[in-house]
Amino acid sequence: MAITVVIGIGLLFLLSLAVLAFFLSLNRINAERNSALDYDADPVSLTMGEKMMIRDLVQQGQKIAAIKRYRLLTGCDLKTAKEQVERLVGQF
């Protein structure tokens, strides 16, 4: 009976590893696909509410969070996001 338990635990462990490997490969594939896309952010595409949310984050001392939010909303690169966040804050 003890050997059956050990074999069962071993099979569960192997199954867990297989599931983990599957999800890691999906994550890698998505990352490669997303990096291959050419993001060209248009700063005008943000709504006024989104612009105000970014401004509020900067005013709260969370500039990095504001840049991350901008990147999430627009899909632009880090440098563009930083420049656009600084530009947006200067507008208000």
Domain ranges of the chain: 1-37, 40-92
Q: What is the pTM of this model?
A: 0.51
Alpha helix (H) residue ranges in 1-92: 2-36, 48-59, 63-74, 78-91
Cα–Cα distance, 31 to 36 (Å, whole number):
9
15-53 residue pLDDT tens: 898 888 888 887 777 776 665 544 444 455 788 889 889
- The CA R_g of the chain, rounded to the nearest whole Å, is 22
Structure tokens at 4: 């059956």
